[in-house]
Chains A and B, each alone.
Chain A
Amino acid sequence: MAEAKDKPKLAFYWAASCGGCEITITELGMRLIEVGEIVDIVFWPAILDFKYSDVETLSDSEIDVCFFNGAIRSSENEHIAHLLRRKSKVLIAFGSCAHEGCIPGLANLHNRESILMRVYETAPSLDDSQGTLPAMSNNVPEGTIELPTFYDHVKTLAQTVDVDYFVPGCPPVVEQVWNVFQTILTGTLPKKGAVIGADRLTNCDVCPRQKGQSGTRITEFKRPHEVDLDPDLCFLTQGVICCGPATRAGCGLPCIEGNMPCRGCYGPPDGVVDQGTKLLSAIAALIDTDDPKELQQIIDSIVDPTGTLYRFSLADSVLNDLKYRS
């Protein structure tokens, strides 16, 4: 067995995320044990007992590959992103949150003030809210403890530091995680900036459902729970928005096999800079009416267009750039 100093050093970190990306790595099971034999894990707070100081004591670029999941939503997230960038040769935005903001990125529909007000003052689950906000600084017997700053909006990892590779998915599926590990361990990483652990085209390329015919049109958009969905037909032909046409393939279609439309977590394929409007461009062309009033009714049936079309990619969209450009 090789000495720890000869093994490649790996780090894993989670910022603003749900923990699903960590779980997907542990889903490797025995294969993870095998990986553990040939690499040296120097930082993985979700699984092993590491402290930030362990990273700080490393030399710059000492970590060979860092898997960073989670979006950047607080000063702590940002601080660790910079720290891990400095300490890592290769930094991978791992999972949809780090890649494109994911569900935390939907916070960009709002702002810091309205989010805090909702959570601490107006949420219906609050019992007699006093509107008390968390204090940024607290004096306790051991000294003063500080909370990280909660930012006005969510940023992706690449909007914060230089990123080498992107692994999409909410979470990345376990077989793709294994592919990424093998790519790294065999030294076959592609050109910097590439999306790895995914395919080139979109989910429709691998989806076995029967596609629409000439003249298939939508007269009302429905949500999945409102329709008895035929498991053999393209969702769009059933009036249900499926993000598959503008979503990169690679997940193996677990949602579609479960008779649920693609929600878009693998992000846009190469060449698409704004997944939401690209998807809009495809589905809007399916509407069937010449009557402007009826057209508005059809559009009304798209509940929450931003949340539907940009569910995972809002923080990494042109739309987001428009809101937060300096």
Chain B
Amino acid sequence: MSHAPSPTSFADEVRAIPGGEHLEMCYACGTCVSKCMIQQKVEPDYNPRRLLRQVMMGMRDEAFSNPTTWLCSACDLCYEACPQEIHISTVIDAVKQLAVEAGHTSPIETVSVEESLCSGCGICVMVCPYEAPHLIEKELDGKQDRVSEVDANKCMGCGICVAACPLGAISRPGVSNDDVVPQIAIERQQDGIPTLLTFVCDWSLRAAEDVSILESYPPNVRIVHIPCTGRIDPQMALMALKSGIDGVLVCGCKPGECHYKRGTSVSDCKISVLNRILEQMNLNHGQIRFVQIGTQDRGHIRFEVDAMLKHLADSKEAH
């Protein structure tokens, strides 16, 4: 008589997907939950430990409708912390694959492609941290054309592709050029107070405390929320300076702590090259700055904003 579990159990199905095999090493300590940004910021019901337990107990429907299955962006902060060294995001991804096969869809607001604007350049395919976009051949206006198509079940809505798309063909409500560009404006201040546009990665605000710090500044400091600094288009920084804004501060996360895996490095690269370009034009006066704030650096954002304001005030005086 065999005591082996049925080979078709839910847990077996998850284990059969590469990455899912770590499933039963979990002894439910909950360290992953304490590290998780999603749990802290958006979804108190988010709980990797509980999801893994549901899988082991064969609770298929509960696991498929669990927000944890869909919201994990594979930032892997929990992976580093897990005493069992479980690569939790790959286990969650295995559950998600089964959920998609079973007909469930992602609740995340994902990007969409305006096909008449898409050149099929494949930039979005290359830059996406989640392999969500791919190129397809299809008939458009009676002609065979190559355009990008986004797998809505893979897209996490980071906006890296929105910034990278040269034709503005990719959009997402709240993240598109039409949403962000109108926010690039600060009324000119009296008595020479410098104006500062601050792009803030929504995930780098480690606590509500940071939001209230930012909101406590007078109107010369304007906060623009973006899902990830990978969304930054350096064109926006130049347009801000052209509109008369004195400085642009882009606040991202430390490398390895980026909620969308690589957004902070992408942003670092963009702003670094932009500053080299400004240098070549003899225009680099430290007006555009990129800073990386760690997950544990609560309240640190104040120092960055203050330092930037001081720098801008000093250079105003020098001119």
- The answer, among A216, A289, A306, A318, for a CB contact under 8 Å with B235, is A318
Bound complex: CA of A202 vs CA of B117, how far in Å? 10
- Partner of B121 from the list A211, A289, A321, A325 (CB cut-off 8 Å) is A211
| Residue of B127, B167, B235, B237 touching A269 (CB-CB under 8 A) | B167
- Residues of B97-139 at the interface with A, using a CB-CB cut-off of 8 Å, are 117, 119-123, 125-128, 131, 134-135
CB<8 Å pairs between A and B, sample of 21: A108-B281, A205-B120, A211-B121, A211-B125, A211-B135, A213-B125, A215-B126, A249-B119, A269-B167, A271-B167, A273-B235, A277-B234, A277-B277, A280-B277, A281-B233, A282-B127, A282-B166, A290-B262, A299-B272, A306-B281, A318-B238
Option from A276, A281, A323 in Cβ contact (under 8 Å) with B164: A281
- Check if B190 is an interface residue, CB within 8 A of chain A: no
Interface residue stretch chosen among B191-199, B263-271, B310-318: B263-271
Is B239's beta carbon under 8 Å from chain A? yes
Q: Say which residue of B128, B242, B273 sits within 8 Å of A325 (CB atoms).
A: B242
Q: A217-B126, A290-B265, A306-B281 are in contact. Are A319 and B121 (CB under 8 A)?
A: no
Could you say which residues of chain A place their CB within 8 Å of the CB of B255? 290-292
Chain A's nearest CB lies how many Å from the CB of B262? 7
Number of contacting residues on A, CB 8 A?
A: 58
- Interface SS of A by simple majority: helix
Q: How many residues of B contact A (CB 8 A)?
A: 48
In the bound complex, what is the Cα–Cα distance between A236 and B167 (angstroms)?
Answer: 17
| A141 vs chain B, min Cβ distance (A) | 44
Q: By the criterion CB–CB under 8 Å, are B166 and A272 in contact?
A: yes
Docked-complex contact B281 and A282, CB < 8 angstroms: no
Give me the interface of B with A, judged by CB distance under 8 Å. 117, 119-123, 125-128, 131, 134-135, 160-161, 163-168, 230, 233-235, 237-239, 241-242, 255-256, 262, 265-266, 268-270, 272-274, 276-278, 280-283
Give which listed residue, B167, B234, B269, contacts A295 with CB less than 8 A: B269
B238 to A, closest residue via Cβ:
A318
Contact with B along A284-321 (1 / 0, CB 8 A): 11110111100110110010111101100000001101
- A238 to chain B: closest CB distance in Å? 12
CA distance A246 to B235 in the complex (A): 13
Closest to B123 in A: A282
Asked, given contacts A213-B125, A234-B122, whether A285 binds B160 with beta carbons under 8 Å apart, the answer is: yes
Report chain B residues within 8 Å CB of A216: 125-126
In the complex, the answer to whether B120 meets A211 with C-beta atoms within 8 Å is yes
A180 at the interface (CB under 8 A from B): no
Nearest to A111 among chain B residues (CB) is B282
Interface centre among A108, A245, A310 (most CB of B within 10 A): A245
Q: Does A63 contact B (CB under 8 A)?
A: no
Write out the residue numbers on chain B whose beta carbons fall within 8 Å of the beta carbon of A286: 123, 126-127
The 10 lowest CB-CB distance pairs between A and B, nearest first, are A211-B122, A204-B121, A205-B119, A285-B127, A212-B126, A214-B131, A277-B234, A284-B269, A285-B164, A277-B235
